[in-house]
Structures are given as C-alpha cells and as structure tokens.
A = this chain, B = another copy of it.
Amino acid sequence: MSSAPPNLPSPNSPGAGAGASSPGNSPTFSPLYQQIKALITQSLQSGEWKPGELIPSEVELAGRFKVSQGTVRKAIDELSAENLVVRRQGKGTFVATHHEARAQFRFLRLMPDTGEVHNPDNRILEVKRTRAPADVSRQLDIKSGDSVIFIRRVQSFDGVPTILEELWLPGALFKGLTAERLNEYRGPMYGLFETEFGTRMIRATESIRAVSAEPAVAEVLGVAAGMPLLSVERVSFTYGDKPVEVRKGLYLTDRHHYQNELS
C-alpha cells in the first residue's frame, strides 16, 4: 500500500516559524483526523470501496495511515454522522447505500396523513436526451446547452397519482440511461444511479413553495386545474459537493404531507 502518509507537520515542529499566525489565509494545518477523513472519503469517491461493502477495520486503517485507532475513529465518526458510512458493532463499517430502507426516507419526505401503507407505483412518462435549460445548467454547474438526460414521471400511492416529477441529469454521467432501464428497475431511483452509473447522491437542498396546478399538470394528477400543489425543487450533490441532479416535483398534499424535522 502506498497510501501517502498524512502531511502533518509532525508533532515536534509546530508552526514555530509562522510568526504572528495572523488569522488570515496562512496554510493552516488541518487536524490529523480531518486529513484521515479526507483520505477515506477519496477511497469512497474513487470506488475503492463500493456502496454496501465493508471497509477496512479501524485497526487496519490506523496501521495503514500510521496514526492511532482513536484518530481513525474520530474520522469515521464524522463520516458516519454525514451518512457516508454505517457502523455495525461487531461486524464493521460499511459504505452507505441507497438500497436500504434506512436511506430511503432521507430523500422522500412525503408521508401519508394516516396509516402506513404506501403501495408505491412509478410510471415513467418520458426520457430524452436534450440540452440543459439555462437555470438547470446553472444549478448543475455545467455549460449552458450541455447535454442532459430529462426524465418525467408520476408516482402513485395506493393507485392515486400523487407526485409529478421532472429530473435533469448531466448527460456525461448517465450515458445509456433509458426509459426501459428505469422501468425494469426495482427499488429507489438513487439505488440505480449508484449501482449502474457509479454516482451516489449524498446531500440535497430543497426549495419548497405552494403553486397552482396548471391544466396539463392537473390532468396528469387527476385533479382540478387550480388545485394547490407543493412545488419541491431539489438539487442533489455527490462527493465533493458536486451537483448531479436537478429535480422539480409537484406534490398533491390533500392526503399526504411533507414531513420535516427542525433540530
């Protein structure tokens, strides 16, 4: 294992020469555990350890990086808090995956008002390769007019159409994504993205508003035009805070609600 050792300034020679150590932009050394965390994140990003897989034990990583187990532990603690890995006592630490109920609800906040049954159904209306609209290309941080995959779909619960969604994905990352593959795939869409295209969503921001259903939208959802709908605009990010999905959803909230925790 090569594994470049951390670039720490070694315990003996702290920034003695730095002088005044003004609060400016001097090359501040990050804590050891942050450097370890960055190294582990690199291995996650590069696919050295794939979603669902076991990563090396704390002891082994400590040996590899030439630091104490406690330092590795603190690094993994933070990765665990960020939902990049999952610890299981006695078993080891695993790369987080969207193929688990655990991760599902982080990205689907619409809950039925009563009961628990979902009976979800996913109908793909359209998949095409096109050019990114200006606002989407800006949010995806790609050049205006770059190729993107556009997806339009309806999600129903217990047979009731509830979510109409439009997605834009960078074409460069999702070559070969077709309606057929989307339709035959079982499980969450982010699971497919992660296993088939090597792109794992780890974080997202959402902007929520109330809007009025336009006639075309109302027809798809089977409601009257003018019906109030929840508009949810999401930008999802993968490793390195790189945006890789724009999603605009319209939620019917007469029997469901968007659940949020403030803490």
Whether, in the assembled complex, A211 has its beta carbon less than 8 Å from a beta carbon of chain B, the answer is yes
Pick the residue among B82, B228, B258 that contacts A212 (CB under 8 A): B228
Q: How far is the CB of A125 from chain B (nearest CB, A)?
A: 22
CA distance A229 to B209 in the complex (A): 8
CB of A18 closer than 8 Å to a CB of B: no
Q: Which residue of B lies closest to A234 (CB)?
A: B262
Copies in the complex: 2
Chain A interface residue number, banded = 20 to 34
Interface string of A224-240 (1 = CB under 8 A from B): 00101111001000000
| Segment at the interface with B among A32-40, A127-135, A180-188, A198-206 | A198-206
Which residues of chain B come closer than 8 Å to A189, judged between CB atoms? none
Are A209 and B263 closer than 8 Å at their CB atoms? no
Find A208's partner among B83, B212, B257, B263 (CB 8 Å cutoff).
B257
What residues of B have a CB within 8 angstroms of the CB of A82 in the complex? 263
Q: Is the interface of A mostly helix, strand, loop or mixed?
A: strand
A228 adjacent to B211 (CB under 8 Å): yes
A188 to chain B, nearest CB (A): 14
B263 near A203 (CB under 8 angstroms)?
Answer: yes
In the complex, A64 has a CB within 8 A of chain B: no
Asked if A26 is an interface residue, CB under 8 A from chain B, the answer is: no
Residues of chain B lying within 8 A (CB to CB) of residue A263: 82-83, 106, 202-204
Question: Which residue of B is nearest A262, CB measured?
Answer: B204
Closest B residue, CB atoms, query A113: B207
Q: Would A210 and B229 count as touching, CB distance under 8 A?
A: yes
A12 at the interface (CB under 8 A from B): no
CA distance A229 to B253 in the complex (A): 12
Q: For A82, give the chain B residue with the smallest CB separation.
A: B263
Which residue of chain B lies nearest to A258 when distances are taken between CB atoms in the complex?
Answer: B208
Q: Show 19 residue pairs from A and B whose CB-CB distance is below 8 angstroms, ordered by the A residue.
A: A82-B263, A109-B262, A203-B263, A205-B260, A205-B262, A206-B259, A207-B258, A207-B259, A208-B230, A208-B257, A208-B259, A209-B256, A210-B230, A210-B231, A210-B251, A211-B228, A228-B229, A234-B262, A260-B260
3 closest residue pairs by CB, A with B? A209-B253, A210-B228, A210-B210
**What 6 additional pairs, Cβ within 8 angstroms, besides A82-B263, A228-B228?**
A81-B81, A206-B259, A207-B257, A210-B251, A210-B253, A234-B262
